[in-house]
Structure 1
Amino acid sequence: MILIVDDAPENIISLKKVLEKNDFEVDTASSGEEALRKILKKSYVLIILDVQMPGMDGFEVAEAISGYSRAKETAIIFLSAASANVHLITKGYSSGGLDYISKPVDMNILLLKVKTFYRIYEQSRALNEMQTTLREEIEFRKEAERKKDEFISIASHELKTPLTTINGYIQLLERSLDKNDLSTAKIRLQKVQNQVEKLSLLVADLLDISKIESGKLKFNMKYFSVDPLLDQLLEEMQQANPQVKIIRKGNVGTEIYGDEMRIEQVLINFITNAIKYSPDSEELHVTSTKCGNDVYFSVRDFGIGMAEEHQKSIFDKFYRIEETSERFQGLGIGLYICKEIIERHHGKIGVKSTLGEGSEFYFYIPTSSPEKDQN
């Protein structure tokens, strides 16, 4: 928008008419004081400012607005009948003006100058946008680098922990065998096996991340019965976690189309997390049911829960809740992998949670192949 400031109404009318005819948006002020009030409220690309006005003259107005943050990129063209006065021209430039036009105004010259300033303004704005985008991209690279470094550190720790534990149990196992204490040796051997399984899961997650990044995560899609899968899985999870009662709710009652192993992987992740993040709870609920053309699965715990701001990011890669990261270790990739698996099944994954009251992780997937639906 252009602001014309002149105490002569006839000058304002003629300038406004020419500029609006050339598709410029125009505002007007008949005094320096009125101009300042408008500049405080609006942003202008260009101000056409008469020098000789009663009260505040054009130079005083220019000096006053030079300190306004809203007007710091606004160009000023001075208008004056005293074109031959070098002192006035010099004062105009020192007051913040970028150009000077003498009266009577040659409208063609004025239009050329206005168009030039607008072009410069547009180029400057585009450059500022590019700089802003570049700064954001640099910050995003820095954040990605920070997350990568943090992930490497966490992964190294998570991998080192079971290895250290395995090494310790092997030493204890050797002592038990030296004493011919077979019962103790079996217990310690089982603990070694548990740590090996934990290590295998960590490595599997790391490999899945690599495959997702390279687009090579493979799926063996076919129809399978989900209820027997869930029965077997819950039986195994219950045996491995006798401290919590796993309550099953509902049945699917039909075959679904998907990768059986990958769906099981998601369910295991949900149940493992539910147990992990509700150490003081006595039960968790696993629900499965058919909803129209979809099947619905959820795992509900009664643990620590999470705040709403974390729910938006919990499925992001490497995302870990800072408040619980020290107490509950993890790589921050399990739920990201789950999200990739469910989306590859054309499904939807989500969470409902209340801080201090527990969480319910869920997903929907279609029962049939999308290709079959199209046929």
Structure 2
Amino acid sequence: MMILIVDDKSENLIALSKTLESRGFQIDTAISGEEALKKVLKHPYDLIILDVQMPGMDGFEVAEAIGGYSKTADIPIIFLSAVNVSKEFITKGYASGGRDYLVKPFDTDILVLKIKTFIKLNQVQQSLQTEIEQRKLAESKKDEFISIASHELNTPLTSVKGYLQLAENSLGKQRLDQTKIFLERSKKQVDKLNHLVADLLDTTKIASGKIKFNYQHFELEPFMQNAIESIRHSYPGKQITTTGVSLSGISLLGDENRLEQVMLNYLSNAIKYAPDSNEVTVDVQLLPDKHLQVSVIDQGIGISHERQLQLFEKFYRVEENANRFQGLGMGLYICAEIIKRHQGTYGVQSETGKGSTFYFKIPINPVMADLN
């Protein structure tokens, strides 16, 4: 706890400093109001003990100035005075922002008790203020998410309705080829809707701790091939290249379906955020510490460093791309939770305009007791 003592008499500063230092407090001093203001703006203090009668700026003026700065307004101030002891001055002390007004001579034990009480109360106040601010962020994100979710869910629903109407008209005119095209387009929109709803359900399960994992041994090579082929089927014009070690004959203990969910999300993001590129690379490495590392590399728009730290947060969407690319902003959050449940790590390496590399690393044979 750092306390600033302000008094124009050096003997008072020395005496009170020694007394409080003997009680375990860290002490700084100022010989005038002007010096006190300079120090308060440069250093964080937990409490200020302020003499009232000083040449130049008196204690009341110093307190009012401290209260006028947002970064110092909440520092508790205790006034000390041997001269100005009337009710008028005590009232002025509280009005200028003081938490207490002690008259010299004072009981040292009472001063120490007041110091500890005011510092603790201030810490509680700051903690509550931080919690309130965090909740206001949380509420803002929730409101924004509801708006995004309504839009993202409504878009495929509207498309399905329109395509089915077109299919119905084509069928009535015996235009079966057109009917088939419209039904196929409807199916794609239903698949998109299903994916959005699945993300919503997964996020809800993660928040409530009810998401289930089925850990079993499975072969890595067919797992990787199935994920890549699924993306190739959905994006036939894209080229997905694999590099790294051969996975033939290697098995992994984990939830195959959940890890495939991670792969599909990484791959689909790599394609979505690289609209002007047809190439995506999947690099697979077996590390010396018996971990599997998978990296998905694109040649897309890239991500600024300040945005990278937020990508795996719930509901986060890069603002400048929010209107350009669809999504609820939950995919990478779900991926992060899946990887963490496999005792793994995840991350991104990227530079604006130069593509991105999303990766995860998980143990080949984790300890089962640590997975649950």
- Aligning the two structures, in what range does the TM-score lie when normalised by the shorter sequence? 0.7 to 0.9
Pick which of 240-249 and 319-328 moved more: 240-249
Aligned 8 A contact 2:76 2:118 in 1:
no
Q: Per-residue displacement from partner, 1:68-87 (whole Å, max 9, x unpaired)?
A: 4179854343346xxxxxxx
Task: Give, in whole Å, the separation in 2 of the partners of 1:340 and 1:220.
Answer: 15
SS of structure 2 residue aligned to 1:279: coil
Specify the alignment match of 1:275 in structure 2: 271
Specify the alignment match of 1:65 in structure 2: 62
Task: Give, in whole Å, the separation in 2 of the partners of 1:327 and 1:232.
Answer: 29
Pick which of 70-79 and 184-193 moved more: 70-79
Task: Give, in whole Å, the separation in 2 of the partners of 1:79 and 1:351.
Answer: 63
Pick which of 129-138 and 191-200 moved more: 129-138
Specify the alignment match of 1:75 in structure 2: 78
Task: Give, in whole Å, the separation in 2 of the partners of 1:149 and 1:180.
Answer: 47
Specify the alignment match of 2:221 in structure 1: 227
Specify the alignment match of 1:295 in structure 2: 292
Aligned 8 A contact 1:342 1:349 in 2:
yes
Aligned 8 A contact 1:313 1:319 in 2:
yes
Distance 1:194 1:18, change over 3 A: closer
Distance 1:123 1:163, change over 3 A: same
1:245 to 239, 264, 270: 239
Pick which of 226-235 and 274-283 moved more: 226-235
Q: Per-residue displacement from partner, 1:278-318 (whole Å, max 9, x unpaired)?
A: 11112111111211210011111111111111110100001
Distance 1:46 1:335, change over 3 A: same
Shift in Å, 1:135 = 2.2
Shift in Å, 1:26 = 6.7
Distance 1:48 1:144, change over 3 A: closer
Distance 1:48 1:324, change over 3 A: closer
Task: Give, in whole Å, the separation in 1 of the partners of 2:293 and 2:9.
Answer: 71
Once the two structures are superposed, the pairs formed by residues 26-45 of structure 1 within 5 Å of their partners are 34-36=31-33, 38-42=35-39, 45=48
1:336 to 298, 320, 333: 333
Aligned 8 A contact 2:279 2:298 in 1:
yes
Specify the alignment match of 1:139 in structure 2: 133
Aligned 8 A contact 2:304 2:352 in 1:
yes
Q: Per-residue displacement from partner, 1:55-101 (whole Å, max 9, x unpaired)?
A: x76x9744553454179854343346xxxxxxx65486587593444
SS of structure 1 residue aligned to 2:32: helix
Which consecutive residues of structure 2, in runs of 5 or more, have no partner in the other structure? 41-46, 67-71, 94-99
2:144 to 136, 150, 167: 150
Higher radius of gyration, 1 or 2 = 1
Specify the alignment match of 1:264 in structure 2: 260
Aligned 8 A contact 2:33 2:57 in 1:
no
Task: Give, in whole Å, the separation in 1 of the partners of 2:28 and 2:180.
Answer: 89
TM-score between the two structures when normalised by the length of structure 2: 0.81
Task: Give, in whole Å, the separation in 2 of the partners of 1:153 and 1:15.
Answer: 59
Aligned 8 A contact 1:47 1:76 in 2:
yes
SS of structure 1 residue aligned to 2:294: strand
Distance 1:119 1:197, change over 3 A: same
Distance 1:118 1:171, change over 3 A: same
Specify the alignment match of 1:163 in structure 2: 157
Distance 1:184 1:142, change over 3 A: same
Shift in Å, 1:132 = 2.2
SS of structure 2 residue aligned to 1:180: coil
Specify the alignment match of 1:192 in structure 2: 186
How many equivalent pairs are there? 346
> Aligned AA for 1:98?
Y
Specify the alignment match of 2:43 in structure 1: none
Task: Give, in whole Å, the separation in 1 of the partners of 2:265 and 2:143.
Answer: 24
SS of structure 1 residue aligned to 2:224: helix
Task: Give, in whole Å, the separation in 2 of the partners of 1:141 and 1:17.
Answer: 43
Once the two structures are superposed, the pairs formed by residues 283-322 of structure 1 within 5 Å of their partners are 283-292=279-288, 293-322=290-319
Specify the alignment match of 2:324 in structure 1: 327
> Aligned AA for 1:294?
H
Cα RMSD for the two superposed structures: 3.2
Task: Give, in whole Å, the separation in 2 of the partners of 1:45 and 1:146.
Answer: 36
Distance 1:121 1:154, change over 3 A: same
1:175 to 154, 166, 169: 169
Specify the alignment match of 2:69 in structure 1: none
Distance 1:35 1:371, change over 3 A: same
1:255 pairs with 2:251: yes
Pick which of 339-348 and 149-158 moved more: 149-158
Distance 1:13 1:223, change over 3 A: closer
> Aligned AA for 1:231?
Q
Aligned 8 A contact 2:344 2:362 in 1:
yes
Task: Give, in whole Å, the separation in 1 of the partners of 2:200 and 2:102.
Answer: 63
Distance 1:21 1:237, change over 3 A: closer
Aligned 8 A contact 1:349 1:362 in 2:
yes
1:369 pairs with 2:363: no
Aligned 8 A contact 2:170 2:176 in 1:
yes
Aligned 8 A contact 1:351 1:362 in 2:
yes
Shift in Å, 1:120 = 2.4
